Every structure is written in C-alpha cells, then in structure tokens.
Chain A
Amino acid sequence: MYRYIIKRLLLVIPTLVGAAALVFLLMRLIPGDICVVRLGSGGGTFDERAVQACHAQLGLDRPMFLQFVDFVWGFFRGDFGISMWSGKPVLYEIAARFPVSLEIAIMAVVIANLIAIPLGTISALKQNSPIDLVIRVFSIAGLATPSFWLGILFILAILDISQAAFGSPWMPPIDYVPIWQDPLRNLSMVIFPALTVGYRTSAVTMRMTRSAMLEVLREDYIRTARAKGLVEHIIINRHALKNALLPVVTLIGIEAAFLIGGLVVTEQVFNLNGIGRLFVQSVQNQDYTMTQALVMLVVAAFVVTNTVVDLLYAWLDPRIRYG
C-alpha cells in the first residue's frame, strides 16, 4: 500500500511539469501586455518608456526560454516568483485567499453530502413513489440552475425577506473574517455561498447515489440478507450503502477538487476573496506568474484528491488492494 502511495505521489511531478509548460505557453499566446493593461486601463496617458521600464522590472524583456527555465527552476525550489500584477510573492497572494476557498469548498462538500446521500438513498428505496419524484425534481433543478443565478437570487431573497420582516434589508457581511476570529460573522458570510454551491454539487451526487443504490438493492446478497430476517436499516446502512458509495466517492472526489479553484462565479457574486476570483483576475490581467501557479495548484489539488479517493476505495471495498 505504501509503495502504491509513493508511486502515486511521484506521478504528480511529471503531471505538474506538463501542466506548467502548457500554461506557460498558452498564457503567452494570449494577445495583450500586462504593463499596458496596468498603465492604460485607467484611461490616462502613459509614456512608452513607462511600458519599457515595466517590462524590465517584470523580466518580460528577457527571452522566453529563460523565463521558462526560471519558472521551472523556481517551482522545484517552491518559489513561484512574484505576481506581475501586485508585485507580491505569488504564494503570499494565494495563501491570503486559500482559506476562503477551502472553507467554502469543505462546507459545500459537507452540505452536498448531507443532502445528497440521504435523499439519494430514500429516492432509491421509494423508487417511483411521489417522494422519489419530488427528490428527482429537486436534483434536476439543482443541475439546471446556474450557481451564480442561484447565488444572486439567494441574496435578493435575503434582502427582500428581511426588509419585509424587519423593515430594513439585511445581507451577509461582505468583508471576510477567519472563523477563529469571529465564528458567527464568518459563518454568516460563508453559509450562503456554501449552500449555493452545495446544492448544485448535491444534485449530481444525489442522482449517482440513487442509481448506485438501485443497482445494489437488486443484488442477491441483499435478497439473502432480507431472507435471513435482518432489520431493514441494517441492510441499507451496513450492506447496501457501503457498496453503493464506491462510485459516489469518486464523484465526490472530483467535485471537491474542482471546487478549490472553481468557485469563480460564486466568489464574485458573494464578494469572496478566494482562489477562483484570483484566477479570473490573473488571467484578465495577464499575470503570467500568478496564473501559472494557480493552474499548478488546481492540478495538484486534483491529483491529491484523486489519490485520496483511490485510497478510500480500499477501505470501502476490502477486495481492492494496492501493491
């Protein structure tokens, strides 16, 4: 098992280097110049010498090959360089925002699973009943609803309901504080984006849970268990659900990894200073160093999460063992 883990972790390196090369090249293919964007987007005038000074300061006047070597060498030393936009270390910028995205992603995954697994199970158990129909409509609505629209709707609903109820509108705080500083304020801010994203994620998981449960419930060993007189909830929880969760766990892993850098629109709508928003900014600003680092962060998140998922398989299904 340990050999398997080490092998999986070593495979991360070529994956990251490949991703680095790809994003390095792609970013430089996009037309535009960060210095011109910085100096010109305000609308005023700037001197061409100012652009050249900016290029020199950012190292953009160096040959591309040297820039790439610097980047890869820095990566192996854990130094992702300086953000071309803010001038601060890339890791500093990411570290400032990572807790926000991580908190929302974790809460969203927890909420999604708290919704999806019970409802998916009930839906399977009550197949074709009115309850099943309601749950399926609920999950399809989650799939069909864009999360940004849901987020905006959430906020508008909060504003309007609070105005109607209390005479003045209330909305969640818009400046983030870490949970250890002010738990109530923190939770009042993140619960709504977590619900928005969680609902969307739960829709996918719910459907997978339902399908997997339906398949497992038709297995012979479930019929045997019932014939033996086992109580229904023991059959469901101990025998059926554990086996049905294998594909669900894979899905949860993929969704969770995606959430780390994929909360772009949600972060915009709720004004959360997270990785997703940073991603969009860095691409728009043509901040090469930041974009490169963020892509690699997301790739790393996917790889690590999928490794964890694979290890979970072994726990869920004793037949699965890694050499």
Chain B
Amino acid sequence: MSYLMNGVQVALPPSPTQPCGLGPPSPALRERVPSAARRVRVRRSGLLAAGLASALSTTAPPLAAETPKSGGTLTYMIPADAPPSLDGHRETTFATVHSAAPFYSVLIRVDPNNPSSTTEFVCDLCTAMPQPTEDGKTYTFKIRDHVKFHDGSPLTAADVAASWNAIIHPPEGVTSARESYFVMVNKVEAPDPATVVFHLKFATSAFLPALADPFAWIYKKEILERDPHWYEKNILGSGPFKFAGLETGQSIKGVRNPDYYIEGLPYLDGFTGIYAEKQAVRVEAIRADRAAMEFRGMPPASRDQLVKEPGDKIAVQESDWNCVNLVTPNHKKKPFDDVRVRRALTLAIDNWHDAPALAKIANVHTVGGIVFPGSPLAATKEELQTIAGFWPDVEKSRAEAQRLLKEAGAEGLKFELMNRNVDQPYKYVATWLIDEWSKIGFHVTQRVLPTGPFFEGLRNGTFDVTVDFNCQAVVNPLLDVGKFLPHSVYTENYGNYEDQKEIGLYQQLLHETDPAKQRALMREFEKYVLDTEAHMFMTPWWYRIIPYRSYVKGWKISPSHYLNQDLATIWLDK
C-alpha cells in the first residue's frame, strides 16, 4: 500500500514487530533488496497538520534532484559534556566521534550515500575495494595520491599502516579500545608508499566491516612514533575539515580543508559542535535554530515536540539503531544457575505485542534476534518465533514459564534488576520488563546506578539480573554477537558462565565463509544462546530518531550514531 507525497511514491511502513524492515521476511527477497533496516521518515509538520500520516519508506525516497550549495557553518549539538580525549583509537564514546571525525580520514567506510547498508563499504583513502587473495587471508589496498595532512605533509601508506598497527598491536602503555576486534589480523605492512597490505591469520567475512570502523582514524606515523599519546589532546588529520578551535567543555570548531582529496567537498565552510548534555537544552536549541541538529538520537516525545513547529522547518530521519538492551542473569547466583529459571525469564516477555507501545515513549522499535534486524544474517520473524521469548502466543509462552518455574521450585521469585541510570531507553525497558515478569509471579525491584557503580556491579557480579547493552558501530554480526560469548572469551560479557559448546559454535561461525552455511550456523548459535541455555536475552532494538532543521541537506541516517560523521556531504539550503 502506498501513496504520493511530494511527487514521490512512498510505501507505508511494515509493522515494527517485523524484524526485517524491508518487506516480506523471506531470505530470497532479502537478497534482492539492499540489506538495510533503514526507514527514512521525512516529516513536514505542515503536512502532518493536514492529516497525512507519517510515512515510512522502505528505501530512501529519491527527492527531486537538488544542487548542493557551498558555504555556511553547520552548528550542531553534541549530547555530552566533553569527550574524555580526542583519540579515536583509544575512546569508545560517540562524543569523541561527533567532535573529531570531521578532521580525519579512514581507510574504508560505510557509503555516505547509503550509510544504512550493512554490506556496502567504500574507499576513503584507498582507491578501490580489494578482492582478498591467498585464500581470503590477504587484502591489498592502494592508497590515493596527493593526500595531505592538514600541516601540508603528505599522507602515505606508511601512515595508514602505522595507524592500523597502533589499533591492532598497540605499544606498551597505549590503550586501543578495539584491539580485540582484529584478532584475525596477523600483520599490517606498507611495502611501498602507495600500498597497504593486511595479512590475516584466517579468512573471515568479519574483517572488512571491522576495517570500516569509524574510530579508525589515520594518524601521522612520525607523530605516533614520537609520542603515541599525542592524539589524545591534539588533532592533526587529513579529513574534510581542519581543526579551528576547542573551547574546553563548550564547543569544537572546524573549517573547510581546501586541499581535501575529494573534489568539491566539503560543501560547508565550517562547523561548530556545541556540547550539551541536557536533552531539554538540545531540543530548545533546535527549536530556536541556535543549532541545526544533533547526531545521536532523540526520544519520540522530543521529536513530536519539535515537529509541532509551524511550517516545514523541521525534518526527521529515523532508523533502526545498532544498539540493544539485553537482560543478563547472573549465572553464579541461585536460582539463575538453573536454565529453567532463565528460560522462564525470557518466556514471560511479550516482545511482539509490547514493542509498538514502547516505541511511542522510548527509543526502541524493532523486535529482533541477536543480529541487527535487516542485515543478511538476521533472523526472519518465522525463525524468531521458534525461540523462547519470541513465541507468537504469549499466553502459551507464560504458561510454559510457569511450568518451568514450578519444576525448578522458583515460583514467586523475588530478585533485583540492576540498571544503569540513563533514561532512554534503559529505565523504560526495565520498567516494562518488571511488569512483564510480574505476570508470571515474579517480584522484581529495580536498582538504578550511575555509570561508574553500574560497571563496577557488572564486573564484580554483585547483581541478580542486570540490564546490559550491546552498542556497535558498523553492523558486523560476526563480531557484534561476540557479546553473547562467555567472559573468558569476551570480557564484556557479565553473565558469569562458561560454555565450551557455545564457544565452539562461535568459532565455526567466525571461520565459515559460505553465506548460506554461515546463516545456518548463526541460527544455531542464536537459538542456543537465547533459548537452549538462555544465557542472555533480547529486548526490542533501539531506534534512532533525528529531528533537524530542514535546511540541512546531504546527510543520511545510518544504524549507528558513530557512522557517517565526517560532515563532508552536508550542505545548507539557506
């Protein structure tokens, strides 16, 4: 079903409970369409007032061709007080990316024209995406000519290799937050100034998505050798913008790089990123046009508040978000060492029915399995419905939960749910979970902790059940599902369990290169983790809502707030 809006044929949205946002969830169809769970929602508040319901298109609706205008300064909000440092290799926070990504280049990245694709990657510094050689274990990249750092010095393959070595094999005393993403890499070398070669220990389809990491900025080799901590407080890149100033805790500024290697870009003269942790400040700033947008995501209520603005001054883009809250029972605490109790916890939850209601108040939307909805390895709705926690009949599911609890002698269980002191969507999700568990007779209280004590609780195992989270940048299912592995393999798993069978399944998955077999293995892994052993379980995937001033053009939403942040393609239609 579709209708015409602005001269464009727009399809009405699929149900939010459909795990794959691209139409009927058949594997065959998915292969024919871009594997993206992106919905572009271009909302004009005037049209909304006229009664046209908001529409979701399953692919980006091609708007009438617009000629980008050069000039202007983009002012945007950064929802943080300040990044802990400016070093992308070291940090994991979006505050670092939103502050400094425009100053840097990367080797490959998600396609800025289609950033929601989970399989398409394009070159930034390289000239062409290579085909792997030597049984898929060698990737050879050719580096662009005439690329310069902002101090005028040339950028060569040696700088690329040095930067990647700093990420993959950091020297003593240097922190690399993503070292473990690259366990498959043996070495990185630059045999000549225009060539970088990655030698892998084993072939895996997890490598290229990992290489497109938005934090993998290319630094100057000379500086890395002289002082590997230099980039924590300083900026020197080769990206579309040059560093123009940082007011500590206040704002960061950049100006156009006239020597940028992509001709015609960037369109903007510059940008200003203003730090503002409070959501009310950011909403008011956008409303009053003190800032054009923020790049993280706002809750539905803020979007609704902004689109009340008369006229068509506010546009909205929305997308499934590569972040999800998980529930992790502490396997070392009775009775959560009993798989029947863990299964009961997940069987009590009615994801399908409750997700649409939650979506109205919280940043959640799509029901999905352990793989980002819409990516080729994601489960279809039919496949999910065979897994505990996703049964189509919730009454039957809860009856089974109660049977298991009776068998395990855990009826009327009382326990505490540990949660992080963040509103969206943690507290909303936790409140919902507690309500769902009450329907099978559980008495659950919530203990909300600030970030520091929350992590302390996770690491020390001082919790019964916890709300956990898995937030990744590039959709890379083979690495993203590592979160479900035991702590001995994946240090950010806090379930306190060991499971060699699960590890064996994962190793098979990681080393499998045939897509069909890989998919089958992923289903087996997913069923095992979520159902058979119920080590952890899912809540609805997060949902990214970006309301912005409609004069901002050229930016497309992606499934991650870490992606597509170099601002090169953004222009201002004013």
Chain A residues in the interface with B (C-beta under 8 A):
30-34, 36-50, 53-54, 56-57, 85-88, 92-93, 96-97, 152, 155-156, 159, 168-171, 173-176, 268-271, 273, 277-278, 281, 284-286
Contact = CB atoms under 8 A, between A and B. Distances in A.
B250 A284 contact: no
B249 interface: yes
Contacts of B291: 174
Contacts of A159: 284, 287-288
Interface in B266-308: 272, 274-278, 280-281, 284-285, 287-291
B174 interface: yes
A229 B290 CA distance: 60
B9 interface: no
B208 to A, nearest CB: 18
B452 A273 contact: no
Contacts of A268: 277-278, 281
B249 A278 contact: yes
Contact of A44 (B247, B275, B460, B473): B473
Q: How large is the interface on B (under 10, 10 to 19, 20 to 34, 35 or more residues)?
A: 35 or more
A43 B453 contact: no
B278 A44 contact: no
A152 B283 CA distance: 12
B247 A96 contact: yes
Interface string B242-270: 00000111110000000000000000000
Nearest to A84: B84
Contacts of B442: none
28 contacts: A37-B451, A38-B92, A39-B92, A39-B177, A41-B93, A43-B472, A44-B177, A44-B471, A44-B472, A45-B181, A45-B483, A45-B491, A45-B492, A46-B180, A46-B492, A47-B176, A48-B491, A57-B229, A85-B84, A93-B248, A93-B249, A96-B248, A97-B248, A155-B284, A175-B250, A176-B250, A271-B285, A284-B450
A43 B469 contact: yes
B251 A175 contact: yes
A44 B452 contact: no
A174 B285 contact: yes
B91 A49 contact: no
Nearest to A40: B455
A248 to B, nearest CB: 34
Interface string B465-484: 00001111100000000110
A278 B81 CA distance: 9
Given A31-B456, A169-B288, A174-B281, A39 B175 contact: yes
B471 A42 contact: yes
Interface of B: 81-82, 84-85, 91-94, 170, 172-181, 229, 232-233, 247-251, 272, 274-278, 280-281, 284-285, 287-291, 323, 450-457, 459-460, 469-473, 482-483, 490-492
B473 A31 contact: no
A88 B470 contact: no
A202 B200 CA distance: 69
A86 B85 contact: yes
7 closest Cβ contacts across the A-B interface?
A32-B452, A43-B471, A42-B92, A171-B288, A31-B456, A96-B248, A273-B249
Nearest to B274: A175
Nearest to B288: A171
A56 B172 CA distance: 10
Given A30-B453, A31-B452, A46 B92 contact: yes
A30 B452 contact: yes
Nearest to A35: B175
Nearest to B313: A168
B458 to A, nearest CB: 8
B274 A174 contact: yes
